[in-house]
Chain A
Amino acid sequence: MKAVVVGAGFAGSLIAKVLGDNGFRVLVLEAGAQPDHDEALLRFQTALVKTPLAPYRTTTAAPSSDYLINTGPFDYASPYLRINGGTGTAWTGITPRMHPEDFRTADLGHGRNWPISYDELEPFYRAAEWEIGVAADADEQRQHLPVADGYSYPMHALPRTYLDHVIASVVDGATIDGQELLITGTPQARNGIPVRGYRPDGQLCAGYASCVPICPEQAKYTPHRTQKRWSHNVELRTRCVVNRVHADEFGRVTKVSYQRYEDDTTGTHTRHEEEADVVVLAAHAIENAKLLLMSGLANSSDQVGRNLMDHPALLTWALMPEPIGPFRGPGSTTAIDAFRSGPQRCTRAPFRIEIGNWGWGWSAGSPGSDTAEFVAAGLRGNALRQAVANRVGRQFTLQFEIEQEADPTNRVTLGPGRDALGNPRPSVHYGLSTYVKDGLLDAKRVSDRIFELLRAEDHTSYKPDDERYFEHNGEPLRYWGAGHGGGTHVMGVSPRDSVVDQWQRCWDHPNLYAVGCGSMPSLGTSNPSLTMAALALRTAGHLVSRRVMSAGSELAESAGSRPPP
């Protein structure tokens, strides 16, 4: 059985591994080049603005998200990366599970339901946590989520930051809007102390404080780790941009076309084709949709590219009364989960509150911005040194991950422009619903209350000339792109209104799968990659059992909502 996997990013690397381990011949076609760790580190250090993509060499032939065109009322602000390893190379590595409620958001009044429940996904969450290497404490997670009895995460929870301890000492047990606050450890895909039976891959997290975009120590999970564990059945070809998937008259996928380039600085390429028994698209939510649209496949529901969701993030920033030592260790080790669930989410989007440990780095460009401010105010010498120490040493940020519901008008289409290979650029029409804006506004109000409790000095300000600024009910607001794009090949129970079934198989094509956050009918308030990884492992298991069941003939049959094998 021959599988072609399109994209060697987060989802594709996981699926290729399971298929390769189970006797498939797997060819992974990856658009980007191979990154070089040392070179990336150097680029990071000398990049003026340390954006998530800054360290990584990209190619003219396979541009990353910066070639995306925005046409909607709001800008879609999340980046993605096209190199071997994908966006999973630059990600932060925060890995909470979704809340059980998040799987039935339509029942709660907004967005879509999943075709599967939390309970059905739970075993795959555990498998994904062991494959990726997640540090967390099961009892602590049980305070807000069902986690299987007797289960341990492969590594113990990472130590909290000093900031977390200070905040917890004030906030734990306080209430806002009747919700009791509790600082809870956030599961992390970076190496801590292993439990028995787990051997961590890579070094122990040493506190470099640059996990996104690059961990010098390689203590953070990236798909390169999974690639190292690929069996000999898996072949990787980098610098191969898939630009078409072909199907026969019965809808069965037969082959893919791709463009191979050698030179990273031009669009010069050669054309190739590869036949396959099964094709798995794992090119990222936006690129998967683009590829399906370019191929004219899987779209009988007219949902391909629609329902684009992300977490519009709200940042608020303040000074603690005393120094707390920011910029030491991971970006965030705890969160407040009280606003993720419950009846309030029927009226405004729910949110998860990350305690941000890297000062005002993302929100306000610290410490460069503080220095510039003090210098402009005339401070020199010791006065300057002291002012910077006193300001930056007390900084912290709250990051609110706001749920965004599936909305068919938020969509990816093929743009008018062409890239260097002659392929259409993705065009995004993106907006924020009243539900999301109400969530952002409420998040700001909760932030005000938390800062009051902490006696923190609020420095948050959103100005009309800031990027992504807007007003809602007369209040100034702003959002940041979290990098969590999903929904663009949405999963459902019926071919009429969804693109893939619960196995991420395209309803219209029995041997074509589209995997990644694009399949997710809701994102809830969790960073999505762990859920995406759990889904990928579930899909891989399904492919393996179908092959075992009928050695290939089954895959030729028409798709449908078959019961699980």
Chain B
Amino acid sequence: MDAFVELSAELTGFSAEELRSTGLVEQYRGLAGNASHAEIIELWYTGVWRGVIPSPRAYAEGLAWKAVGVAAPGTGAPGFGSWERRPRRSAL
């Protein structure tokens, strides 16, 4: 088992699979392999690494948005009128 993914999963509350599906594990391991827990969480949740968003994907895959069950603004089109529906209960 990959130690960085395992630690990330434990810190973020998202499964290893969910983390891998972002396509960001390798990039984040490179950046935050030795970072503090708080920094690792910030990176996964908001896509921000020490004051910089390293890639558009880091922004789009921010876990804070996924926790709420919405796409990061400007990255996903749920469709005309979709905003009128009752929100999905988050997958917890």
Q: Could you tell me the distance between the alpha carbons of A210 and B62 in the complex, rounded to whole angstroms?
A: 16
List 3 A-B pairs, minimum CB-CB distance, nearest first.
A325-B87, A329-B83, A385-B13
Stretch at the interface among A25-33, A110-118, A234-242, A363-371: A363-371
Q: Are A389 and B68 in touch, CB under 8 angstroms?
A: yes
The yes or no answer to A214 lying at the interface (CB within 8 A) is: yes
Which of B10, B37, B59, B68 is within 8 Å of A367, CB to CB?
Answer: B68
Which of B12, B70, B73 is within 8 Å of A385, CB to CB?
Answer: B12
The yes or no answer to A393 lying at the interface (CB within 8 A) is: yes
Q: Are B11 and A324 in touch, CB under 8 angstroms?
A: no
Which of B51, B64, B76 is within 8 Å of A392, CB to CB?
Answer: B64
Q: Are A162 and B84 in touch, CB under 8 angstroms?
A: yes
Which of B10, B42, B54, B67 is within 8 Å of A372, CB to CB?
Answer: B42
B interface, by DSSP: helix, strand, loop or mixed? loop
Residue of B nearest to A214 (CB): B74
The yes or no answer to B69 lying at the interface (CB within 8 A) is: yes
B contact residues around A371 at 8 Å (CB):
41-42, 45-46, 64
Within 8 A of A (CB), among B1-49: 10-14, 37-38, 41-42, 45-46, 48
Q: Are B78 and A384 in touch, CB under 8 angstroms?
A: no
Given contact pairs A160-B84, A162-B84, A324-B87, enumerate 4 new A-B contacts (beta carbons under 8 Å).
A208-B75, A208-B77, A385-B12, A388-B67
The yes or no answer to A375 lying at the interface (CB within 8 A) is: yes
- Most chain B CB within 10 A, of A162, A327, A328, is at A328
Q: Could you tell me the distance between the alpha carbons of A389 and B68 in the complex, rounded to whole angstroms?
A: 4
Within 8 A of B (CB), among A327-354: 327-330, 333
The yes or no answer to A121 lying at the interface (CB within 8 A) is: no
Which of B13, B42, B78 is within 8 Å of A382, CB to CB?
Answer: B13
A residues at B contact (CB < 8 Å): 41-42, 44-48, 50, 158-162, 165, 192, 204-210, 214, 216-217, 323-330, 333, 357-358, 361, 367-368, 370-372, 375-376, 380-386, 388-389, 392-393
Q: Are A392 and B67 in touch, CB under 8 angstroms?
A: yes
A contact residues around B77 at 8 Å (CB):
206-208, 216-217
A contact residues around B45 at 8 Å (CB):
367-368, 371, 388
- Asked if A329 meets B42 with Cβ closer than 8 Å, knowing A367-B68, A392-B64, the reply is no
A contact residues around B88 at 8 Å (CB):
325
Q: Could you tell me the distance between the alpha carbons of A130 and B88 in the complex, rounded to whole angstroms?
A: 36
Q: Are B89 and A323 in touch, CB under 8 angstroms?
A: yes
Q: Could you tell me the distance between the alpha carbons of A325 and B90 in the complex, rounded to whole angstroms?
A: 10
Which of A162, A370, A375, A383 is within 8 Å of B85, CB to CB?
Answer: A162
- Asked if A389 meets B92 with Cβ closer than 8 Å, knowing A162-B84, A357-B83, the reply is yes
A-B contact pairs, 20 of them (CB 8 A): A42-B56, A44-B74, A46-B54, A161-B84, A162-B86, A206-B77, A207-B79, A207-B81, A209-B70, A209-B73, A367-B67, A368-B45, A371-B46, A381-B10, A385-B63, A385-B92, A388-B45, A388-B68, A389-B68, A389-B90
B residues at A contact (CB < 8 Å): 10-14, 37-38, 41-42, 45-46, 48, 51-56, 59-60, 62-65, 67-71, 73-90, 92
Q: Are B68 and A46 in touch, CB under 8 angstroms?
A: no
B contact residues around A48 at 8 Å (CB):
48, 51-53
- B59 to chain A minimum Cβ distance, whole angstroms, is 5
Q: Are A384 and B84 in touch, CB under 8 angstroms?
A: no
Q: Are A329 and B82 in touch, CB under 8 angstroms?
A: yes
A contact residues around B11 at 8 Å (CB):
380-381, 384
B contact residues around A367 at 8 Å (CB):
45-46, 62, 64-65, 67-68
Q: Are A382 and B92 in touch, CB under 8 angstroms?
A: yes
- Asked if A159 meets B81 with Cβ closer than 8 Å, knowing A216-B74, A380-B10, the reply is yes
Residue of B nearest to A381 (CB): B13
Residue of A nearest to B57 (CB): A45
Residue of B nearest to A361 (CB): B73
- Asked if A386 meets B80 with Cβ closer than 8 Å, knowing A47-B53, A392-B68, the reply is no
Q: Are A393 and B87 in touch, CB under 8 angstroms?
A: yes
- A533 to chain B minimum Cβ distance, whole angstroms, is 25
- A565 to chain B minimum Cβ distance, whole angstroms, is 43
Which of A207, A361, A370, A380 is within 8 Å of B82, CB to CB?
Answer: A207
Q: Could you tell me the distance between the alpha carbons of A384 and B70 in the complex, rounded to whole angstroms?
A: 17
Q: Could you tell me the distance between the alpha carbons of A329 and B87 in the complex, rounded to whole angstroms?
A: 12
- Asked if A327 meets B90 with Cβ closer than 8 Å, knowing A207-B78, A367-B68, the reply is no
